[in-house]
Amino acid sequence: MSKGGRVRYSPVLKAKAAELSVITTESLKSSIEPVFELLPGQAPSPPRPGQPTAIAKSTLTETRHFLDAIDQLWGGRYYADVRHLVSSEHGLEAWWAFINAGFALSRPVAWPVPVVALDDVVDIGQAFALAATCADGLAIRIKMPVAPSSNLPDTLMGVSARTGLAVDRIDLILDWSNEVENYPLDLLEHQTAQLIARLVEKVRRISVIGTLDDSDVAGAGSWTRDRREWWTWLRLRDAGWDVDFGDYALFAPKPPGFGRPTYGHLRYSYGDKVRIDRFDSRSAGSLKAAFTECCRNLHASGAFCGGDHCDSDRRIASIVGGESSTGGAGQWREISFRHHIRLVDDQLSTPQASPVPGTP
């Protein structure tokens, strides 16, 4: 939670229409400040014989379009991370120079808070510093776990000197990514708390985030995962640490692909679990039929929260009843995230007890 404020949720979201639709239309009890990862545009497809060459949106166009959309539809504070755009040809500074130039003309409602990875703070220059000044803050994203020998207080002072911002205008994102499944819960809590203790009085805010490891999710089937990032935050809260909660909204850290899916795919959070359903469109006869089967499997399981829980749950029940269309893959992500954000909002307002010591 923010110091003296409401509980804050900072999900890491891909810069896609489904995610933006959810955060701009849901009314929540919690404060939400998303971390948007800007994504590369789609490469043009090879021309078909006798057909004109299709024009794909470039990365520049996609980036500008999304930033304009979030400014018009959201208008609140959010973070922007260009990690998926950075290349050997165009680095951190080049992308923030481009973003700054666009906003200098459009005068945004809220300037995005720039995010930099801990390993990339040496690349901070004038463009990133300008963005941080306009946003009145910046965030350093720290890949966890951090070696005990890391001299993070000195790093913070160096970033402050490079940007001209005081250290207390810096936010930290402690990112366990999908590594939360590779450590016992006691160790996750211990290593995170150690770092918080060293830095919490210096910086403005600290968020702790993580997500599931779905590397073994392939083909058709159903899988269940523990929401270990939620467990970790509960442990930290019960230990008295004033930190914000974040996750990857049920998805993996890697960006989504551009190819046409062959499986219906539904991710669904309930309690401290995540259920993943996949069904082969070749067996179902179509992608829509495959997603319908995913909804049926969830609906028949003990995981489903009921059709009156939120709009997504009503949609799932309606799909199962044949009363609503499934939509495409983008809408599937929206259904998953819309349900999840309502679940997290309820849980942050009335958190459960944290798992007992010795939990694997």
- pLDDT for residue 54: 52
pTM listed for this prediction: 0.93
Each residue's pLDDT tens digit, 79-128? 999 999 999 889 999 999 999 999 999 888 999 999 999 999 999 999 99
Q: What average pLDDT does range 269-283 have in this prediction?
A: 97
Each residue's pLDDT tens digit, 202-258? 999 999 999 999 999 999 999 999 999 999 999 999 999 999 999 999 999 988 777
Query: In whole angstroms, how large is the CA radius of gyration of the chain?
Result: 21
- pLDDT for residue 147: 83
Which domains are present in the chain? 1-44+56-218+225-257 (3.20.20), 259-351 (no CATH)
Each residue's pLDDT tens digit, 327-351? 999 899 999 999 999 999 999 999 9
The bridge status of strand 31-32 relative to strand 35-37 is unpaired
Cα angle, residue 273 at apex, residues 319 and 217 outer, rounded to 5°: 75
Minimal CA–CA distance to 64: which of 29, 35, 38? Answer: 38
DSSP-based three-state secondary structure for 133: helix
- pLDDT for residue 56: 55
Q: Is the pLDDT confidence value at 45 over 80?
A: no
Please, are residues 100 and 56 in contact by the beta-carbon 8 Å criterion?
no
Q: Is the pLDDT confidence value at 46 over 70?
A: no
> With bands split at pLDDT 50, 70 and 90, how would you rate the model's confidence at 53?
low
Each residue's pLDDT tens digit, 152-198? 999 999 999 999 999 999 999 999 999 999 999 999 999 999 999 99
- pLDDT for residue 259: 76
Neighbour order of strands in the sheet with 113-117: 12-14, 35-37, 79-81, 113-117, 138-143, 170-175, 205-210, 244-247, 8-9, 31-32
**DSSP secondary structure string for all residues of 249-274:** TTS-SSPP-SSPPSEEEEEEEETTEE
The whole-angstrom separation of Cα 3 and Cα 194 is 19
Kindly report which listed range (56-60, 90-94, 174-178, 279-283) carries the lowest average pLDDT score.
56-60
- pLDDT for residue 58: 85
CB atoms within 10 A of CB 257: 8
Q: Which residues are CB-contacts of 346 (< 8 A; sequence separation ≥ 6)?
A: 29
**DSSP secondary structure string for all residues of 190-201:** HHHHHHHHHHTT
Residue showing tokens 């959070």: 269
Q: Is the pLDDT confidence value at 42 over 70?
A: no
Residue 275 backbone class (left: φ over 0; alpha: ψ -120 to 50; beta: rest): beta
- pLDDT for residue 350: 93
- pLDDT for residue 226: 97
- pLDDT for residue 255: 83
> With bands split at pLDDT 50, 70 and 90, how would you rate the model's confidence at 148?
confident
> With bands split at pLDDT 50, 70 and 90, how would you rate the model's confidence at 55?
low
Q: Is the pLDDT confidence value at 44 over 60?
A: no
- pLDDT for residue 152: 95
Q: Is the pLDDT confidence value at 2 over 60?
A: no
Share of the chain above pLDDT 70, in %: 94
Q: What are phi and psi of 268, to 5 degrees?
A: -150, 125
Q: What are phi and psi of 257, to 5 degrees?
A: -85, 175
Q: What average pLDDT does range 16-31 have in this prediction?
A: 92
CB atoms within 10 A of CB 15: 22
Report in angstroms the alpha-carbon separations of 70 from 168, 220, 225. 26, 35, 31
Of residues 52 and 320, the one with the higher pLDDT is 320
Q: Is the pLDDT confidence value at 3 over 80?
A: no
- pLDDT for residue 4: 47
Residue 280 pairs in a beta bridge with 263
The whole-angstrom separation of Cα 174 and Cα 136 is 20
DSSP-based three-state secondary structure for 117: strand
Burial class (CB in 10 A: 0-12, 13-18, 19+), 107: exposed
The bridge status of strand 221-226 relative to strand 273-280 is antiparallel
